[in-house]
Amino acid sequence: MEALLAAGATVAAVTEQGQLDEQTWVERAQRADTTAFEALYRMHVDKVYGLCLRMTGNTAEAEDCTQEAFIQAWSKLSKFRGDSAFSTWIHRIAVNTVLGRMRKSRREQDRVQAVTDISPAPVTTGDSGNLEDLQQAVDGLPDGARHVFVLHAVYGYSHDETGNMLGIATGTSKAQLHRAKRLLAQQLKQNGYES
Amino acid sequence: MIKKFLTLASLGLISTTAVAEDVNKRIDASANGVVSISNVSGSIEVSGWSRNEVEVTGTLGDDVEELIFERDGDEVEIKVKGPKRGSHDISSDLVVKIPEKSSVEIAGVSADIDIQSVHGSQQLHTVSGDVDSEVYSTDIEITTVSGDVELQGDDEITRAELESVSGDIEAQNLAGEVTAHSVTGDVTVVNSNFERVRLETVNGDIIFDADLANDGSFGLETINGDVDIDFNDSISARFDIETFNGDISNCFGPEPVRTSQYTPGRELKFTEGDGDGRVSIQTLNGDLRLCKD
Amino acid sequence: MNENQSFDDRLMEAAGSLETEVTPERDLWPEIQSVIATPSRSRRNTLFAQAAAIVLLVGASSGITYLAMNKQMQYVTPPPPNGLNVEHASFGDNYMLGPEYQDARNGLKAQFDEGLESMTPRERADVLKNLEAIRSVIEEINRALANDPENALLQELLLSTYQEELSLMMKIDNVANAMNRTDF
């Protein structure tokens, strides 16, 4: 919030009212007001970054993905009609961004510095102890399984919604979740967790 | 084509040194996994069935080295493998049956693609092959360079992305979202009901005769194509239409106005109904005819 | 946790309690701002133009294209120094596509040519015909813009048409990639 206060008078409109003011910011941002967009950014960046981080398992990737998602959101703002929550909308964009970057990195592994599959920097998410073990195990899942696990088990999207966001069938989402759970169980048992 | 080969082969009229080979194989597969098929030329026909098996039948070209047909977990791969393109005959006709909830990913170059009764998502890519498919409630992405695209929907919500360079694109009975883009091919979308539409061509004409949901969004851009739009009678949207040199003929709502005294350019901005949706149209030289039922 | 819960249930419960909000280690906003902010006067127009170019980027299959255009977002005003050969130059006098755009296009060209090589003569001719159609539209719009540089519609359509060109080149790139991968 400090950064917002520094940004100027328009920021004074941000109150505890949350939802209502978000709509104001969205409308202003849609009219190309970058300060308003910054307000939206501050409101949603933690969740978007969290999503990118869990889906990519890699800090540098997650930072790039977050920036790209907001940039994309800016360019698509006119298409946001407010029928879903802004956070859901931008999550979708974040998921598409992750998937798009993965497709690109598969094709361009040697060339591009920004998009690589190098061994990830250790991820700090603020989870403690056992949860950190779980986080690391999730990071180690194969892509498809990890994406579904993150969206469904961590973020609580239904299989329909998950399938929709990832461009896969609902059934495939269920299959991937099953696979994720099986692999996580194996990994965690190796770490000493009892079944 | 398959029959013809079989007949000739059985008459011994084909040289036995490089013979078109018949294929008939089947393996178990996941009910809703992914089937990926790659065939450079010839044809690929895919249909969904209720068995949890993938079956491939058909004929391989004379110079085909092998047909890869393997399963790895949820994925089944079918690939026609041959020596480098050139004067070799690797043209193969594949008839593939897959579990109907499977997703398909197909890559061909000049192979035509025909899909029926597949309920999983579809990604179909060719260069000059034509693509003919049905879509139900999953996503579909079709890309060709010079092939034509024909898509039949089932009036269920999907997301369809249809891309060509010079091929024509025709789609009907879709719902949900559609993006259709061709450079010089025509785009025709009819009998559908959308939340979101995006249609773009450079020179191709665009015909749209379908419904837009009350808070739907419709975006169209063409340089030289002529545009013919018929919305539903209950359309409710803000219209923002601009053309540089084209004519605008509007069946409902106001007449277009010149954007400036000194330069060409016409625009048409008005609200129909409650103005919940958005219709945005831009053309350079193309003429626009806008009507509703 | 309930001792009677299965491992599966405990796993899902743990998953549900993972932090969904994580604060990035550094402030990511400044870079975002530099991409979306614009110095120009006609804000809506250039914004759209920039936004459209960004959207193109994200669909790019060429890493070079992505990086190059990402840095490219500030329009160059005034026009670049002499000696810079910029084809299909302008959105009117005050806007120039920078040298990185040319680099990006050149970067695509090698694979584009390779893709063309792998096509039949007929397919190749078709692609080149379409490319020609796109380029002549670019010329036509540039001529119109010369008379009417602030025309927002022309700017938008010009940008779209540049995107069409890159998009076509990328599509052929993908064909080249696909051909290489299917190891014929």
Give the ipTM: 0.85
Q: Which residue, A124, A152, A176, sits at the end of a domain? A: A124
Partners of B219 in beta bridges: B198, B280
Looking at beta carbons, which residues of chain A come within 8 Å of C61?
104, 107-108
- Provide the residue range defining the domain that includes A160: 127-195
Which residue of B101, B215, B217 is in closest CB contact with A169?
Answer: B101
User: CA B26 → CA B3, B72, B105, C160, distances in Å?
Assistant: 21, 14, 18, 47
Which domain CATH number covers A100? 1.10.1740.10
Q: How many domains does chain A have?
A: 2
Q: Would you say C108 and C174 are in contact if contact means Cβ atoms under 8 Å apart?
A: no
Higher pLDDT, B152 or A33: B152
What is the model's pLDDT at position C1?
46
Domain boundary among A68, A96, A124: A124
> Looking at residue C35, what is its pLDDT?
80
Residue A142 belongs to a domain with what CATH number?
A: 1.10.10.10
| Subunits with 3+ C-beta pairs closer than 8 A to B | A, C
Do A47 and A105 fall into the same domain? yes
Q: How far apart (Å, rounded) are the C-alpha atoms in residues C13 and B71?
A: 34
- Percent of residues, chain B, with pLDDT higher than 70: 92
Q: In whole angstroms, give the CA distance from residue B282 to residue A145.
A: 42
User: C interface mutation test: which of A67, A123, A190 has the most C CBs within 10 A?
Assistant: A67
Please indicate, yes or no, whether residues A87 and A174 belong to a single structural domain of this protein. Answer: no
pTM: 0.59
C162, closest residue in chain B (CA to CA)? B202
Position B34 pLDDT exceeds 70:
yes
Helices (H) and strands (E) in chain A, counts: 9, 0
Q: Are residues A119 and A140 in the same domain?
A: no
Going from the C-alpha of A108 to that of each of A67, A114, B62, the distances in angstroms are 20, 11, 35
**Cβ–Cβ below 8 Å for B107 and C164:** no
Which pLDDT score, from 0 to 100, does residue B172 have?
Answer: 94
Of residues A78, A81, A168, nearest to B103 (C-beta): A168
Same domain, A4 and A49: yes
Confidence of residue A84 (pLDDT cuts 50, 70, 90): confident
Please tell me if residue B200 touches chain C, with a CB cutoff of 8 Å: yes
Determine the residue of chain C that is closest to A177 in CA distance: C12
Chain B nearest CA to A78, separation (Å): 10
Looking at residue B253, its amino acid is G
Q: Are B151 and B174 in contact (CB under 8 A)?
A: yes
Amino acid C92: pLDDT: 35
Minimal CA–CA distance to C174: which of C74, C89, C94, C59? C59
Residue B56, strand partner residues = B25, B96
Q: Which two tokens stand for residue B93?
A: 């006709």
Residue B85, pLDDT > 80, answer no
- Strand, coil or helix: what is C103? helix
pLDDT tens, C8-51?
Answer: 888 898 898 888 899 999 899 988 888 887 433 333 333 333 33
> Which segments of A8-158 does DSSP mark as H helices, in order?
19-30, 34-56, 59-76, 86-107, 129-139, 143-148
Question: Chain B partners of A81 at a C-beta cutoff of 8 Å?
Answer: 215, 217, 278
Q: Which residues of B touch A171 (CB under 8 A)?
A: 31-32, 101, 120
Q: From A124, A157, A184, give the residue that closes a domain.
A: A124
When CB atoms are compared, the residue of C7, C59, C66 closest to A185 is: C7
C178, pLDDT greater than 70: no
Contact B228, B250 (CB under 8 A): no
Domain identity same for A97 and A11: yes
A105 pLDDT more than 50: yes
| CB-CB neighbors (< 8 A) of A88 in chain C | none
DSSP secondary structure code for residue B255 in this structure = P
A6 to each of A2, A26, A35, A73, how far by Cα in Å? 6, 20, 11, 24
